[in-house]
Amino acid sequence: MSLVPPPVTVCMPSNRRLAEAALSIDSAIAYVEARGYHLVVSDNSGDPEKAAHYRDRSDHMTYLVNPGLVPTANLMATLDEARSVFVLPMGDDDLLSAVAGETPFDFSSVGDDVVGVRPVLDVWAAGEGVLRRDVFAIEGEGPLDRVQDYTRKATGDNVLYYAMYRTKHFREIIDLIDRFHPASRGDLDWAIVYSLLMAGRVMVDPSTIYRYDIGRWRRTAGIEAAVKGFYRDAGFGETALPFAPMFHFMDCYALSFRPSLALGEVARIKGLYGFAMIYLGPLLRSSEREPSRFAGMEPALAGIRAALAQPDDYLTNVYEACAIASEQLKPDLAAGAMQWLAAVHDPDKARRTIPT
């Protein structure tokens, strides 16, 4: 194997058994072999047949067996093996392929203002085929421009998660979540992508196709069941579900202060206001339209509304109001939310003082 790191490492945490994951893993192996990239699979399925099948399968793959790892830790295990400048997170029900005849993307030409390079993405559903193809770039000059641009283009699906991002940014975000997040949920991918967009633009690699299996996200019933599962698994009751936008805001807010995110203060503040508009505005309007869903939380909502009416420079009082509201949805979460924010600001200090 070459001592020169590949430009891209495909990082696949895999929980499915062999029969369910084989197509996906095989497609990734074929892709990295064709491109000279590397694949890291962290298998937490506990399927010995799968481990035996893929162990030593390719010089372009590192296969880790990590039974019992929770999802974020399993993803982190793949990132710990990456030595490339860019990483591509991949689901073990998706497919990856190189476009025949297309020149591979030249990563050496990517400027410092670019945080990621996205493949052409086909949104696919079993029995229906490709539902649509997404090829948009995110070119805004400032963090708020890029966040707003993606909000308009995403159409409800967080398709930009599956892109080749600078390892230093992607790894930092996942590490912060894995070590310090007080109530890690399965819908943190939006905060991850928005935090990445705060760092830079996203270009398009026309030579790579990523087939995303939309699966349970195709129908309303599947979406609702998935979201309920995310919050249940994180220790919340169903009363927390209407507050999902608040938790999204809190995650985006905290990750806006991570150490490698080099922003001018005006740009950072604009981004924070953008997240408040994206998430807290709809939350408060929803509480007015459907007050029964927010019964008992009226004082907490009033606190958020009051903080938004008179925000301080960095919307710190808005975050604090959200933390107070979160305490009513999960005991001790207010303190956890403030610890999480402090840990993002100074992870080295947090590692010394917060048990992980």
Domain count, the chain: 2
**Residue 34, pLDDT score:** 96
Query: CA angle at residue 135 from 130 to 140, to 5 degrees?
Result: 150
CATH number of the CATH domain containing 164 = 3.90.550.10
Residues 85 and 203 occupy one common structural domain: yes
Residues 96 and 164 occupy one common structural domain: yes
The residue-averaged pLDDT of 123-129 equals 93
Residues 275 and 173 occupy one common structural domain: no
With 0-12 / 13-18 / 19 or more C-beta atoms within 10 angstroms meaning exposed / middle / buried, residue 32 is buried
- The string of pLDDT tens digits covering residues 296-322 is 999 999 999 999 999 998 999 999 999
What is the identity of the amino acid at 34? A
**Residue 3, pLDDT score:** 64
DSSP string spanning 282-305? Answer: HHHHHHHH-GGGGTT-HHHHHHHH
Specify if 3 maps to a domain.
Answer: no
pTM over the 0.85 mark: yes
Residues 245 and 326 occupy one common structural domain: yes
Residues 49 and 157 occupy one common structural domain: yes
The residue-averaged pLDDT of 9-13 equals 98
DSSP string spanning 245-293? Answer: HHHHHHHHHHHTT-TT----HHHHHHHHHHHIIIIIHHHHHHHHH-GGG
Task: Report how far apart the first and last C-alpha atoms of the chain are (Å, whole number).
Answer: 36
The residue-averaged pLDDT of 54-62 equals 95
Residues 247 and 208 occupy one common structural domain: no
How does the average pLDDT of the chain come out, rounded?
Answer: 94
**Residue 215, pLDDT score:** 83
Last residue of a domain, one of 174, 190, 218: 218
Last residue of a domain, one of 183, 218, 253: 218
Torsions phi, psi for 44 (to 5 deg): -110, 20
Residue 243, domain extent: 220-353
Specify if 60 maps to a domain.
Answer: yes
Scanning 97-188, the segments in alpha helix (DSSP H) are 143-153, 167-180
CA distance 299 to 305: 10
Specify if 2 maps to a domain.
Answer: no
Q: Return the percentage of the chain with pLDDT > 70, whole number.
A: 98
Specify if 73 maps to a domain.
Answer: yes
19: Cβ–Cβ under 8 A, 6 or more apart, which residues?
Answer: none
Is residue 60 over pLDDT 90? yes
CA distance 240 to 244: 7
- The string of pLDDT tens digits covering residues 70-81 is 999 999 999 999
DSSP string spanning 158-184? Answer: -GGGSSEEEHHHHHHHHHHHHHH-TT-
The residue-averaged pLDDT of 37-54 equals 97
Residues 299 and 191 occupy one common structural domain: no
* CA nearest to 118, candidates 100, 102, 138: 138
What kind and span of H or E run contains 125?
strand 114-125
Residue with the larger pLDDT of the pair 303 and 351: 303
Residue 131 burial (CB count, 10 A): 13
- Angstrom distances, CA of residue 254 to CA of 86, 181, 222, 309: 24, 10, 29, 20
CA distance 204 to 127: 28
Residue 253 burial (CB count, 10 A): 25
pLDDT band for position 351 (cuts 50, 70, 90): confident
- The string of pLDDT tens digits covering residues 144-160 is 999 999 999 998 789 99
pLDDT band for position 353 (cuts 50, 70, 90): confident
Last residue of a domain, one of 197, 218, 239: 218
Is residue 2 over pLDDT 60? no
Residues 30 and 158 occupy one common structural domain: yes
- The string of pLDDT tens digits covering residues 198-240 is 999 999 999 999 999 998 878 888 888 989 999 999 999 999 9
Residues 238 and 176 occupy one common structural domain: no
The answer to whether 316 and 337 have CB atoms below 8 angstroms apart is no
Quick one: DSSP state of residue 43?
Answer: E
Is residue 355 over pLDDT 60? no
Specify if 276 maps to a domain.
Answer: yes
